[in-house]
Every structure is written in structure tokens, then in C-alpha cells.
Structure 1
Amino acid sequence: MKKLILTAALLSGIPAASANAAVVTAQSGNPTGGAGYNFNVVLGGGDQTSFQGTVGSWSWNDSTIAEGEGWRHQADWIAFTLTEPSYLHLEISRVDETADAKLFPSYTLLRFFNDTTDGPHFFDNDANIQWTAGSVEMEYLAHLDNSTSGSVHEHYHLPAGDYTLAIGGNAQSEAVAENVNYTAFLAADAITVPEPSAALLALIGAGSLLLRRRH
């Protein structure tokens, strides 16, 4: 799914710096219309934010339950809004390499905001999530399954809209569970559609002329 997001966006535009770029402070708690979030932030083109949180060492994936199952209340849930189509940079890493050695940061990226605190204690980390009947169904977009590194980074082309990021740990479930600390960084570069070059326009014109001559 991630590759589909990237490919579609690459056809439509390229990242561009914004004159209104700023460092934005992520707020604790829920966005307007959302429920069950640890942080929320609104990012315009060129904006960036960073924040720190604490999660369970295997909160993103607990293989003792089932592969692909995470602990809802031991993971951190981040709501972010992109005000325009953006090239999103995402980085998550340990706060302290020694104290947080059992953190192998992993995440799930979803479209839309959750709107309820009801529902089960577990979540599918690679599928749509709807906590209760009648609540918003968050659309699965991508995930990063990391069990070897203390930091991860990825990039996504995304349309404007509301998104949910579920961050958790992915240590071996047989190990003693610990609370571990992470730091996250998000940056959004606006995507602009480039003007066609003179050479490209000339090629298009030549092709049209050739077609007319053939007919």
C-alpha cells in the first residue's frame, strides 16, 4: 500500500519549500472530533514538529496473542492533519540507547481520526481499525515492522486530510515488558505540480502534428 501512495503522488508533483514554514508544537490529548489520542498536531507545507512519549516494549506487536496484534493502551496514538498535499518525513528513535534498549520503534499509519475510547484492548497493526460498530473506521495505509533497530525513518506522499499514527515497541514478547521512551519527528513538505518545460511542450506539439499528418 505504501508503494501505491508514493507512486501516485510522484506522478502529480514534487516537494517544495513553503514561505510559511514553522516549527509547530504538538499538543497533548485529542484533536477536534477525535478520541483516545496522546498527541495531536496540524502541519502545513514546510512545518515540522517533534515530541516524546512512553510506550510498552512490545505494544505494537505481541506475538503471544497473535502476530500482527498490538496493545491499544500501551501504544501511543498521534493525530495529525495535513493542510495540503505533502511529502511527509517521519522519524522515531530511542530517547536513550541504554535505558530504552528494549525499544524497537514500529508504527501503523491510518487515514481519519478515531472518535471513541470504547472497544477492545488490542488492535490489528496491518489492517483497518474500527473500535466499535458505528464509530469511524480508520483506513490502513502503511506500517513499519522493525525488530532490529533503535530508530526508523520513512517518507510518504499524502493528500491533505486527517491521519492517525500508532507508535509502539516491537521487542520479543518473551522478554520482560518495560516502559520505554521514544522521540518522534514529523515534517511536511508541500507538493507542487511542476510547470511543463519548453522542451516538453515542444515534444507534445511535435507529437500532435505527427498525428494530424497521419490522419
Structure 2
Amino acid sequence: MAAATADVGNAVNDCFSIGSTVICTTCFKEEVEGEVLAFDHNTKMLILQCHSKTSGELSDVYVMNLSLCSNVQVIKECNGNFVDDPQKLNLDQVKMRLRKTVERRQDYLKSKNADVTPEAQELYRAIAKQLGYNEVSWQGANIQVLNEVTVSPPYRVDNVVSSSDNDKSCTYIKRIINQFFTTRPSAAQENAHGASSSSASVSPTSSSLSSSNAASGSPVPAN
């Protein structure tokens, strides 16, 4: 173990050349071999481009923490001739993706309400998807839409009320609610699906029991 640690220490003291081929073993005992895309000496982070395990036309990119790796070896030095220059990281695109991911997570958290059912939270998200999360909010157990329409439990079309008698908004929201409950599986269907799955899982056990009794010559109990 001490020798492996020393090898890693010696390896990370040197800078890896972009384009060189490096192989190392992760802390999960997995060997990773690939071409060096970048290396940060301070954090000991090495980025490798490897052949994809699923497609011959694509590449997998690994970010390796060399502090947690062993047997780090350079098996092929770069000759300095690149076929293509390494692609620059588009930081603006990365920031945009990060911002959108955070926004989606924040929007999802807005739909959570411990005082209502999961079905009501799904309906909240369905309405917000059409009108925008900034236009929908919880008022206790009621769904407030556009600051003028309230959807109260049990959240059917008959429970839609407008404080400003805006028939156009009410009609549109009722249409969303109607579509939500029309396309969503009913509780009876979900229970039936669960019961059929349960029966299917029991059947092989019953069959194996009968086969076992028959093979051993034991009588099978009558129902």
C-alpha cells in the first residue's frame, strides 16, 4: 500500500501532457485508460477522454481525483502533434445549464405541500407547467392561480372560483384540470395494477410448491 501511495505521489508531482495516454486504478479497483484532456496540479484532478462503453462514435470523459487513485502510469507520451486542438469549455453554457437546473429544482420545491395529497401536488405542477410557476402558489390547501383564481379541494372543475369573475381564466384552468384527471390513471386502475402484479409474483411460488410436492411424492393440499 505504501508503494502504491508513493507511485501516485510521484505521478502527481509531474504535469501530464495533454494528449498523453494515462492508465490508473480507482478506489473501486476499476482501471481507467484514456487520453489526457486537462490536469490541475493543485487539486490533483485529471480529466481523461476514454473510448465509450456504449458507442464507438462517442467518448466518455472521466474526472479523476488522483489522491484516491493508485498505479497511475503514463503508457504513451504525447508527441506534440495534435490532430485537433482540445475543445475549450464553454463556461457560459455551463453556467446557463446550472442556472436552469437550479430553477427547475426550485420550481419543483414550490409544488410541495405537506398539507395536501401527492395528487394535488401533481395537479399544481400541471397547472404551473402551462402558466408558469410564478403564476401559481399555495394558499393553505388551495391552489392560487394568476392571483385571481382559486382551486380548492378536491381540486375538480367544480372547485374553480374566480375572485374577479374572469370566465376566460376559469375556463382555461378547468380545461387543464379536466385534462389532468382524464389522462391520469385512476386510483382503481392503480390498485388493479398493483393487485395483478402481486398475483403474478405469487403464482410462480405456488407452481414451484406444487412441482416440489409432485416430485417428492407428497400430496398437494386441496383448496
Which TM-score tier does this pair reach, normalised by the shorter chain? under 0.3
Normalising by the residue count of structure 1, what TM-score does the alignment of the two structures yield? 0.22
Query: Larger Rg: 1 or 2?
Result: 2
Q: Which has the higher helix share?
A: 2
Normalising by the residue count of structure 2, what TM-score does the alignment of the two structures yield? 0.21
Q: Which has the higher strand share?
A: 1
Task: Tell which has more relative contact order, 1 or 2 (C-alpha 8 A, sep 6+).
Answer: 1
